[in-house]
Structure 1
Amino acid sequence: MDSPLTSFLQNEIQAKKDKGLYNEVDILSSENGPIIKINDRELINLASNNYLGLATNPALKEAAIDAINTFGVGAGAVRSINGTMTLHQELETALAEFKGTQAALAFQSGFNCNMGAISAIIDKNDAVLSDALNHASIIDGCRLSGAKIIRYNHSDMEDLRQKAKEAKESQKYNKMMVITDGVFSMDGDVALLPEIVEIAEEFGLMTYVDDAHGSGVMGKGAGTVKHFGLQDKVDIQMGTLSKAVGVIGGYVAGKQLLIDWLKVSARPFLFSTASTPADTAAALTAIKQLKASDQLQTQLWENARYLQKGLKDLGFTLSPTETPITPVIIGDENIAQTFSKRLMEEGVYAKAIVFPTVPLGTGRIRNMPTAAHNKAMLDRAIEVYEKVGKELAIIE
Structure 2
Amino acid sequence: MESLIRQSAKVCPFVHKATSCSQGLSQVARTNLPKMAKQCPIMGRAISGSSSRRGYATSSSATAAATNPTTSQSTETVVDHGTQESGFDYKGLFETEIAKKRNDKSYRYFNNINRLAHQFPLAHRQMEDDKVTVWCSNDYLALSKNQQVVDIMKKTLDKYGAGAGGTRNIAGHNKHALMLEAELAALHKKEGALVFSSCYVANDAVISLLGQKIKNLVIFSDELNHASMIVGIKHANTVKHIFKHNDLDHLEEMLKMYPKSTPKLIAFESVYSMSGSVANIDKICDLAEKYGALTFLDEVHAVGLYGPHGAGVAEHCDFEAHRVSGIATPKTKTTMSRVDMITGTLGKSFGTVGGYVAASNTLIDWFRSYAPGFIFTTSLPPAVMAGAAEAIRFQRSHLDLRQDQQRHTKYVKEGLKDLGIPVIPNPSHIVPILIGNADLAKQASDMLMNKHKIYVQAINFPTVSRGTERLRITPTPGHTNDLSDILLDALEDVFNNLQLPRIADWEAQGGLLGVGEKDFVEEKDLWTDEQLQFTNKDLHPNTANPAFEQLEVSSGIKL
Fold equivalence (TM over 0.5): yes
Query: Which residue identity does 1:177 align to in structure 2?
Result: L
- Counterpart secondary structure, 2:426: coil
State whether structure 2 residue 191 is matched by structure 1 residue 102.
Answer: yes
- Summarize the alignment of residues 121-200 of structure 1 with structure 2, pairs less than 5 Å apart: 121-123=210-212, 125-168=216-259, 174-200=262-288
Distance in 2, matches of 1:236 and 1:244, equals 20
Deviation at 1:166? 1.0
Partner of 2:201: 112
Q: Deviations over 1:187-208 (max 9, x none)?
A: 0111111111111111001000
CA-based RMSD of the aligned residues comes to 1.7
- Counterpart secondary structure, 1:44: strand
- Greater Cα shift, 22-31 or 158-167: 22-31
Give the counterpart of 1:325 among 412, 430, 436: 430
- Counterpart secondary structure, 1:331: coil
Give the counterpart of 1:341 among 446, 460, 464: 446
Give the counterpart of 2:304 among 216, 239, 249: 216
Deviation at 1:226? 1.2
Partner of 2:405: 300
Distance in 2, matches of 1:218 and 1:29, equals 28
Query: Which residue identity does 1:112 align to in structure 2?
Result: V
Partner of 1:289: 394
Q: How many residue pairs get matched?
A: 393
Deviation at 1:3? 6.8
Deviation at 1:20? 1.4
- Provide the TM-score with structure 1 as the length reference: 0.96
Give the counterpart of 1:16 among 77, 85, 101: 101
Deviation at 1:323? 1.3
- Counterpart secondary structure, 2:273: coil
Deviation at 1:37? 1.1
**Alignment gaps of 5+ in structure 1:** none
| Alignment check: 8 A CA contact 1:64 1:281 kept | yes
Deviation at 1:99? 1.1
Distance 1:83 1:38, change over 3 A: farther
Q: Deviations over 1:68-99 (max 9, x none)?
A: 12221111021233331101101111111111
Distance in 1, matches of 2:299 and 2:141, equals 16
Distance in 2, matches of 1:379 and 1:3, equals 56
Q: Deviations over 1:238-264 (max 9, x none)?
A: 000000011000110111111111110
Distance in 2, matches of 1:163 and 1:26, equals 43
| Alignment check: 8 A CA contact 2:269 2:299 kept | yes
State whether structure 2 residue 125 is matched by structure 1 residue 38.
Answer: yes
Deviation at 1:395? 5.4
- Counterpart secondary structure, 1:155: coil
Distance in 2, matches of 1:30 and 1:325, equals 20
Distance in 2, matches of 1:140 and 1:38, equals 34
- Counterpart secondary structure, 2:338: coil
Distance 1:116 1:45, change over 3 A: same
State whether structure 2 residue 193 is matched by structure 1 residue 88.
Answer: no
Deviation at 1:28? 2.3
| Alignment check: 8 A CA contact 1:68 1:278 kept | yes
Q: Deviations over 1:316-337 (max 9, x none)?
A: 1111222111100000111111
Distance in 2, matches of 1:319 and 1:233, equals 30
Deviation at 1:150? 0.6
- Counterpart secondary structure, 2:344: strand
- Summarize the alignment of residues 362-381 of structure 1 with structure 2, pairs less than 5 Å apart: 362-381=468-487
State whether structure 2 residue 332 is matched by structure 1 residue 241.
Answer: no
Partner of 1:59: 148
Could you say which structure has the higher strand fraction? 1
Distance in 2, matches of 1:22 and 1:202, equals 45
| Alignment check: 8 A CA contact 1:80 1:263 kept | no
Q: Which runs of 4+ in 1 moved over 6 A?
A: none
- Counterpart secondary structure, 2:114: coil
Deviation at 1:394? 2.0
**Alignment gaps of 5+ in structure 2:** 1-85, 318-333, 503-559
| Alignment check: 8 A CA contact 1:79 1:273 kept | yes
Q: Deviations over 1:41-65 (max 9, x none)?
A: 2111111100001011111111111
Deviation at 1:8? 1.8
- Counterpart secondary structure, 1:377: helix
- Provide the TM-score with structure 2 as the length reference: 0.68
Distance in 2, matches of 1:251 and 1:69, equals 26
- Greater Cα shift, 191-200 or 1-10: 1-10
Distance 1:60 1:208, change over 3 A: same
- Counterpart secondary structure, 2:336: coil
| Alignment check: 8 A CA contact 2:115 2:121 kept | no
Query: Which residue identity does 1:376 align to in structure 2?
Result: D
Query: Which residue identity does 1:383 align to in structure 2?
Result: D
| Alignment check: 8 A CA contact 1:116 1:269 kept | yes
Deviation at 1:132? 0.3
Query: Which residue identity does 1:334 align to in structure 2?
Result: D
- Counterpart secondary structure, 2:358: strand
Distance in 1, matches of 2:404 and 2:172, equals 37
